[in-house]
Structure 1
Amino acid sequence: MHHPNSKSVRKSAFNQQTPMLLLKQLRPKQWTKNLLIFAAPLFSFETVNAATLIHTIAGFFLLCFISGCVYIINDYCDREADRNHPVKQHRPMASGQLNPNLALIFGAILLIGSLAASALLNPLFTVLLGCYFLMNVAYSFRLKHVVIIDIMIIAAGFVLRAIAGGLVIHVPFTPWFLLCTMLLSLFLAIGKRRHELVLLQEDKGSHRKVLDHYSLELLDQFSGIVTTATIISYSLFTFTSGRTIHLMWTIPLVIYGMFRYLYLIHIEKKGGAPDRVLFEDRHILVTVLIYVICVIGILAYFE
């Protein structure tokens, strides 16, 4: 007698939860990676106004939606395997809370809508989002298993985010800006792989096939090369980018931030999720905030 009522209550609860489950499926916790889109407005501080800020914020969310569509495809294809994973089994599709077909339809609508909206900001931004989407889908299905290419694709994703920031506010890039972004992204990607390799050696359930082709020694050598190149490139950027030479005062902050991240990877055994480290490690968070304040202050008063 009570069964129909209880079923309708469960169905009603499911319907009410669906929007939240769809939002969770887009993995908003990982949206912090897309904050890199604000790098271009930061270094073009003197041209920033209300309109450019609104465009950048809009571009940020469109980038988040496009990356969310990749997560939907990823989780749809991996939902059976994810059910046997201690952490991933709680994802909306793997847990059975979210209808996989509904998630796919939602993703298709979101993808088309986001690409259409991006054309209003800059048609080149639409092209970039399309490339970003295709690159990440290719990474999810194939390229994440190809040694070295996998970390370069992760780095390329960060570079595209930085370029997106310039496209939405129509400002040109300097080669140094793109080079520094690429090297810093490689630095983070190598740290992520090293963290996963340590977990694999400790038998903590890491299951990336590509890790079989890496060693700690190789990744440490990669990291040393990229760390050195990043610091040199950033230093040259502050002197030769055509901006005020006083940007050189931010070099110690970049060095400290990178050294702190290396400390977290090697000593604290962290670094698997760079976006989480930014908010979980107080030292890096404070360093980033001081860096942003310094760049704004220097560009505002010395140019």
Structure 2
Amino acid sequence: MTLLGERSDRRQAAPPDRGGLLVGLLRTARPKQWVKNVLVIAAPAAAGDLFSAGAPARLALVFVLFTACAAAVYLVNDARDAEADRAHPTKCRRPVAAGQVPVPVAYAAGITLGVLAPAVAARLCPPEVTVLLTAYLAMQLAYCVSLKHVLVVDLAVVTTGFVMRAVIGGLALGIPLSRWFLITTGFGALFMVAAKRYSEAVQTAGKAGATRALLTEYTTGYLRFVWQLAAGVAVLGYCLWALEEGGVPHTSVLPWRQLSVVAFVLAVLRYAVFADRGTAGEPEDVVLGDRALALIGVVWLAMYAAAVADW
């Protein structure tokens, strides 16, 4: 009976087989987060150069390189936090924490991707792209090690990661970036980041074991102030772009730039509903999970495309 009991205990203690090492590495790379890297087309789309000669291939390459850099950060982060994640009720299911991916393998895969991506960029892309990818890796690794524990700086780092995604496409194609593009992108990203933090703070209020230790240092009032301020500045920046008179006469049937302001403001207001409720999680989940917001986004994209194409 003792021998049978010991065998039973060993079977219960054995980690479950969830598809092997390669599947575990893929899960650790967070495929669901790759949708954020679609932002690399933001600057070319804004400039109307999305389908210019050679642009699709170069943007696809930049998307892959940025995805590799982000995956490198996730791998190193999960390897570094493996012990802490094992004590967490949900993070314990991550492949590294669950033992599906050994810690040394996660470190090795992360370092390999982190070295290869800038190296490939140095050979195939403009120097600015290599510099930005290297800066992204350095910033995100610093965030994993210490910056995520520094008030306000953590918000700035995550926001900057979104801005880098939006900027790199312009750098890859040599497109000048307007001040309104940078202002709207930067504060729009801060709006979503602060809204997510606010939602996490609301959901974990009065509960032990918050998913982010730094949430206990923020007040919900402060985070609400940040996302409201960021939303206001993003809307202002977009309005200034839409109302700005360019040097080239427009022949559009309708003033699509000005009309797109309505859709943009409606999208921000709709997103703010979820932020106010404390249910604004990952931006892609909020947008794709709400039909009204997704529809508003499609209408805005159509108007924006018409404005850029001068239809």
**If the length of structure 2 is used for normalisation, what is the TM-score?**
0.87
Aligned residues: 291
State how far apart, in whole Å, the 2-side matches of 1:129 and 1:241 are. 34
* Corresponding position of 1:72: 75
* Corresponding position of 1:57: 60
2:269 is the counterpart of 1:259: yes
State how far apart, in whole Å, the 2-side matches of 1:241 and 1:71 are. 43
* Corresponding position of 2:158: 154
State how 1:32-181 maps to structure 2 within 5 Å.
Answer: 32-46=35-49, 48-49=51-52, 51-119=54-122, 120-181=124-185
1:152–1:186 CA contact under 8 A, matched in 2:
yes
State how far apart, in whole Å, the 2-side matches of 1:246 and 1:262 are. 24
1:46–1:299 CA contact under 8 A, matched in 2:
no
State how far apart, in whole Å, the 2-side matches of 1:228 and 1:251 are. 13
State how far apart, in whole Å, the 2-side matches of 1:240 and 1:176 are. 10
The runs of 5 or more residues in structure 2 that have no matched partner are 1-13
- Aligned residue for 1:94, secondary structure, equals helix
**If the length of structure 1 is used for normalisation, what is the TM-score?**
0.89
State how far apart, in whole Å, the 2-side matches of 1:279 and 1:169 are. 29
State how far apart, in whole Å, the 1-side matches of 2:39 and 2:208 are. 31
State how far apart, in whole Å, the 2-side matches of 1:241 and 1:30 are. 37
State how far apart, in whole Å, the 1-side matches of 2:227 and 2:96 are. 36
Question: Residue 141 and residue 241 in structure 1: after superposition, are their counterparts in 2 closer, same or farther (change >3 A)?
Answer: farther
1:199–1:205 CA contact under 8 A, matched in 2:
no
State how far apart, in whole Å, the 2-side matches of 1:224 and 1:270 are. 15
State how 1:197-276 maps to structure 2 within 5 Å.
Answer: 197-203=201-207, 205-240=209-244, 242=246, 246-267=256-277, 269-276=278-285
State how far apart, in whole Å, the 2-side matches of 1:55 and 1:218 are. 41
State how far apart, in whole Å, the 2-side matches of 1:91 and 1:219 are. 28
The runs of 5 or more residues in structure 1 that have no matched partner are 1-9
2:75–2:109 CA contact under 8 A, matched in 1:
no
2:298 is the counterpart of 1:289: yes
Identity %: 30
Opposite residue 248 of structure 1, the aligned amino acid is Q
State how far apart, in whole Å, the 1-side matches of 2:224 and 2:134 are. 34
